[in-house]
A and B are shown apart, each in its own frame.
Chain A
C-alpha cells in the first residue's frame, strides 16, 4: 500500500492537496505515480491561469498514455514547480514533497474541506 499522508486531502482521481493560508499545493499520489510508470512529458499551466475544481489543469504522458491532472480546488495558479523540468522522476520518488506540481490561491475554502481525507482515500485504494 502506497503512503497516504494524513496532513492533506485527496481527489478520487489520485491528486493530493495541502492547504496553507489559503494556498493549496497540488500533486499526484504515490499510487498514481506508480500506476503511471515511466514519465516522459508533463504540461503544466502558466502562473496566473484560473483553474476550476474537478477540471483538468495539465497533462502527463507515460507509456503512450496521456493522463489529465485534475484540480482539487478553484482559484488562480500562483506557482508551478519549475524544478520538475529535467527531473520528472521526482514525481515518482517524492510524490508528496519534491514532486508537487502547482500552487493555487483558492477562491472557495469549502472546496478543500469537501475533498477526501486520508482515511477515505485509503479506503478507496483498498476497495
Chain B
C-alpha cells in the first residue's frame, strides 16, 4: 500500500502490480476496524487455512491494513492487485470526477482481461454506495463500474473492483481482479500491457518505483501503514442511512 501511495505522490503515469508473498486483507479508508471481526474474514481464513504455510518467520497471514482508497474489504493473495497513478486531468484521465476516472479505468481493464474473463463488462446501473456502506466485502458490493461476467444460468459474478484516491492533481486507482482458472501469475504482465495499450494516451509506464518513489514509500510505510494509529483509526462523520 505504501508503494502505491508513493506513486500518487510521484509525477509519472505508472501502473504496477502488487505481489503477495502471504495473504492479507485490506480495508477501505473509512471502514471500521471492527469489521475485521466480521465472518467475512473468518470465512476467508478458514477457506484458505489449509493453503498457507509460514514464509520464513512471517505469520501465514499479514495483519490487515487500511488503504487510502474507498470501498470495502478485499482479501488479497489469490487476486491480481493493481495500483495505477497519473495526473488528473491529463490524457490518461481527462475528467476529474470519480465516476469518469473509474469509467476510464474500467474501460482500459476490460479488454486486457477479456481472454481470462470472457464476456466481462461493467455492471452499470445506479450508484447505491450509501445503502451498501455496511457491506463488508468489496466483492459483495455493487457499483456501476464493477467488472462482472454473466454466467449461463444468469448469475452475475463480480470479477474486478476499483477504488480511488484523489490528491491535488493526482489520482491513484487500485484494482483487484479475480484470477479464475486462466489468469495465472505468469499472465499478469500481459494484463498490465493490455491496460497500457487500452489507455492509448502515450507513455503509461509499467514498472515499479523510481528512486524518489522508493524513498517516499519507505517514509509512508513507517509513518502510516505500519502504525496502529492509521490502521485502526477512528471512523469520522458518516452519512446516515434509513436502515
Contact B166 A37 (CB under 8 A): no
Chain B nearest CB from A49 CB (Å) reads 13
Which of the candidate stretches B18-26, B191-199, B215-223, B231-239 sits at the interface with the other chain? B231-239
Question: In the complex, given contacts A43-B237, A84-B237, what are 8 additional A-B residue pairs having Cβ atoms less than 8 angstroms apart?
Answer: A39-B239, A43-B30, A56-B167, A64-B143, A65-B70, A65-B102, A67-B166, A70-B168
Query: Could you tell me the distance between the alpha carbons of A38 and B126 in the complex, rounded to whole angstroms?
Result: 11
Q: List 29 A-B contacts (CB under 8 A).
A: A36-B97, A37-B97, A37-B98, A37-B127, A38-B127, A38-B129, A38-B130, A40-B30, A40-B70, A40-B238, A40-B239, A41-B30, A41-B235, A43-B30, A61-B29, A62-B129, A64-B28, A64-B69, A64-B70, A64-B162, A65-B98, A65-B165, A66-B29, A66-B164, A67-B165, A68-B168, A86-B237, A87-B240, A88-B237
Residues from chain A with a CB closer than 8 A to the CB of B166 are 65-68
A42 within 8 A of B: yes
A1 within 8 A of B: no
Query: Could you tell me the distance between the alpha carbons of A59 and B168 in the complex, rounded to whole angstroms?
Result: 12
The interface size of chain B toward A, counting residues with CB under 8 Å, comes to: 32
Interface centre among A59, A61, A70, A87 (most CB of B within 10 A): A61
Residues from chain B with a CB closer than 8 A to the CB of A62 are 70, 98, 129
Query: Could you tell me the distance between the alpha carbons of A43 and B96 in the complex, rounded to whole angstroms?
Result: 21
Query: Could you tell me the distance between the alpha carbons of A9 and B85 in the complex, rounded to whole angstroms?
Result: 30
Closest to A36 in B: B98
Query: Could you tell me the distance between the alpha carbons of A51 and B239 in the complex, rounded to whole angstroms?
Result: 25
Q: Mark B165-182, 1 if CB is under 8 A from A, else 0.
A: 111110000000000000
Main secondary structure, interface of B, reads loop
Closest to B95 in A: A35
Query: Could you tell me the distance between the alpha carbons of A67 and B168 in the complex, rounded to whole angstroms?
Result: 9
B204 within 8 A of A: no
Chain A nearest CB from B91 CB (Å) reads 16
Query: Could you tell me the distance between the alpha carbons of A86 and B239 in the complex, rounded to whole angstroms?
Result: 5
Chain A nearest CB from B199 CB (Å) reads 19
Closest to A56 in B: B167
A19 within 8 A of B: no
Interface centre among B69, B102, B129, B167 (most CB of A within 10 A): B129
Interface centre among A43, A63, A70 (most CB of B within 10 A): A63
Chain A nearest CB from B115 CB (Å) reads 26
Query: Could you tell me the distance between the alpha carbons of A38 and B240 in the complex, rounded to whole angstroms?
Result: 12
A47 within 8 A of B: no
Closest to B131 in A: A38
A107 within 8 A of B: no
Chain A nearest CB from B131 CB (Å) reads 9
Contact B143 A63 (CB under 8 A): yes
Q: Could you say which of A38, A56, A65, A84 contacts B101, with CB atoms under 8 Å apart?
A: A65
Q: Could you say which of B30, B127, B162, B168 contacts A61, with CB atoms under 8 Å apart?
A: B30
Residues from chain B with a CB closer than 8 A to the CB of A56 are 167
Query: Could you tell me the distance between the alpha carbons of A65 and B69 in the complex, rounded to whole angstroms?
Result: 6
A89 within 8 A of B: yes
